[in-house]
Amino acid sequence: MSKVIVTGACGFIGSCLARRLLERGDEVVGIDNLSRRGSEYNAARLRAGGMRLLRADLSSAQKAEDAFGAIGKADAVFHLSAQVAVTLSYQNPGADFRDNAAAAFNVIDAVRRHTPGAYCFYASTNKVYGHLKVNRPVGEDMPLDPYTPYGVSKAVGEMYFTEYGRPEFGMATCSLRQSCIYGHQQFGVEDQGWVAWFSIANLLGRDVMVYGDGHQVRDLLFVEDLVDLYLLLWERRLTGVYPVGGGEANAISVAQGLDKIAAITGLPFKSLGHEGARPGDQPYFVADLSWVGRLGLAWSPRTGVDEGLRAMIDWQRGHLEEIRAAFAS
Ligand SMILES: NC(=O)c1ccc[n+]([C@@H]2O[C@H](COP(=O)([O-])OP(=O)(O)OC[C@H]3O[C@@H](n4cnc5c(N)ncnc54)[C@H](O)[C@@H]3O)[C@@H](O)[C@H]2O)c1
């Protein structure tokens, strides 16, 4: 049995990772400030499953120090907490900086003091590439060029993890620049998590605004496939920085996503409005996954988009009251 710290454990990806770790018998300590809408429901599920939850704001160096000091040694730390919306990073760039850049520094530096031998994972984002002008898969050679405060604050966090992985600190750090992740336990909203938001809006009969021409392409990756990869990276103690998404086989446009969701639910969208593209919205992002084979990892996205969307929508249908309550609060 391993001891694992998951920050942002009550968010979408964190809660899926924490559940998988609990299911296989690991000791899981989650840290979350429960700022994300709906995170309290994931928290209740995980606590019932045996996760210890420390409610702490990791943007505070002191609170991060207190939390990691109280937890002590761990085998792995997955840093998944963040402010995740580009829109909010424009509305309040200071809060975005604190929740992303400062919190990432606070976490990796607290790990250095309290459990430097732990495997340290950082969830980065394709937004660190900024306005990509390519329409081919993005590989490891693509340089950092963030555009948007969120892109910058996430890139800063990633760079600290990379820095602490160099020989002077000698820690085992790894970052994935993640594309569009979707699935269960995701409380997608208009500001972030468009796939889950579109199906929630479809099921609840809410208006949907499409920003941009709807032809933006993303390679969707189902959350359980991403969790498989996290566990494999840790098992191999793989270090470095890599792009990840569903790859070319799972690339769809926003318009195709809307059509697929309506076809699965059997419900029309109440209304679809159209506005100009939002800042930082890349016209095309697909991850080049060739590094996976090069490093000899037995992993590939197993869940196709149609199957993954059906699983996500099944979960949403089964938790509609919870979702309704989260959206009312
Ligand atoms: N979901 C995606 O498609 C996607 C894509 C690329 C990168 N990422 C990255 O993956 C990670 C997880 O994303 P997610 O979709 O699960 O987001 P999420 O919003 O569902 O989860 C983030 C969690 O962090 C918590 N949190 C926020 N600020 C905090 C703070 N200061 N202190 C403690 N807890 C705090 C929130 O309450 C929430 O539970 C993030 O780092 C995000 O940037 C996500």
pLDDT per residue as tens digits for the range 22-79:
999 999 999 999 999 999 999 999 999 999 999 999 999 999 999 999 999 999 999 9
Pocket lining: 80 vs ligand 1, CB cutoff 6 Å: yes
Type of residue found at 310? R
Tell whether ligand 1 has an atom less than 6 A from the beta carbon of residue 39: yes
Average pLDDT of every residue of the chain: 97
pLDDT of 310 over the 90 cut: yes
What per-residue confidence (pLDDT) applies to 39?
Answer: 98
Say how many Å lie between the CA of residue 133 and the centre of ligand 1: 27
11 lines ligand 1 (CB under 6 A): yes
CB-ligand 1 contact for 10 (6 Å cutoff): yes
pLDDT at 133 over 90: no
Task: Provide the CA 14 distance to its chain's centre, in angstroms.
Answer: 8
Q: Return contacts of 137-141, CB within 8 angstroms, 24+ apart.
A: 137/247, 137/248, 137/286, 137/287, 137/288, 137/289, 138/243, 138/285, 138/286, 138/287, 138/288, 139/243, 139/288, 139/290, 139/291, 140/241, 140/242, 140/243, 140/288, 140/291
Measured by CA distance, the residue closest to atom 36 of ligand 1 is 36
Structural tokens at position 95: 């809060």
Structural domain range at position 189: 3-254+257-328
Residue in the block written with tokens 């109280």: 70
59 touches ligand 1 (CB under 6 Å): yes
Per-residue pLDDT band at 173 (split at 50, 70, 90): very high
Strand partners, 189: 192
258 CA from centroid of ligand 1 (Å): 24
pLDDT over 90 at 20, yes or no: yes
Q: Ligand 1: which residue has its CA nearest to atom 15?
A: 12
Q: How far away, in angstroms, is 8 Cα from ligand 1 center?
A: 6
Question: What ranges make up the beta strands (E) of 12-153?
Answer: 27-32, 52-55, 76-79, 119-125
Place of tokens 């990869």: 229
Token pair 């948007």: residue: 148
Q: Are 162 and 241 within 8 A, CB to CB?
A: yes
CA of 84 to the centre of ligand 1 (A): 6
Nearest Cα residue to 220 out of 240, 204, 196, 187: 196
Cα(94) to centroid(ligand 1), Å? 17
Ligand 1 pocket check for 110: Cβ under 6 Å: no
Among 5, 13, 55, 87, name the best residue to mutate to test ligand 1's pocket (greatest count of ligand atoms within 8 A of Cβ): 13
Residue whose tokens read 């976490």: 107
Q: How does 155-182 read in b/e, with b if 16+ C-beta sit within 10 Å?
A: bbbbbbbbebbeeeeebbbbbbbbbbbb
Number of domains composing the chain: 1
pLDDT at 312 over 80: yes
Indicate if ligand 1 lies below 6 Å from the C-beta of 54: no
| Atom number in ligand 1 closest to CA 60 | 31
pLDDT tens digits along 187-215: 999 999 999 999 999 999 999 999 999 99
* Ligand 1 center–CA 266 separation, angstroms: 31
Longest Cα–Cα distance of the chain, Å, equals 57
The single-letter DSSP state of residue 189 is B
φ/ψ (deg, to 5) at 31? -125, 125
What is the pLDDT at residue 329? 72
Beta carbons of 86 and 137 less than 8 angstroms apart: no
In angstroms, what is the span from residue 36 Cα to ligand 1's centroid?
8
Residue in this structure with the two tokens 């800063």, named with its chain if needed = 156
Which pTM does this prediction carry? 0.98
Residue 172's DSSP bridge partners are 119
Query: Which tens digits make up the pLDDT trace of 88-102?
Result: 999 999 999 999 999
Q: Is 83 in the pocket of ligand 1 (CB under 6 A)?
A: yes
Burial letters 253-277, b for 16+ CB under 10 A, else e: bbeebbebbbebbeeebeebeeeee
- The 10 Å Cβ neighbour count of residue 135 is 10
Burial class from Cβ neighbours inside 10 Å (0-12, 13-18, 19+) for residue 90 reads middle
Confidence grade of residue 253 (pLDDT, cut at 50, 70, 90): very high
State both tokens at 31: 């840290």
Distance between CA atoms of residues 2 and 149, nearest Å: 36
Could you tell me the CATH number of the domain that includes residue 122? Answer: 3.40.50.720
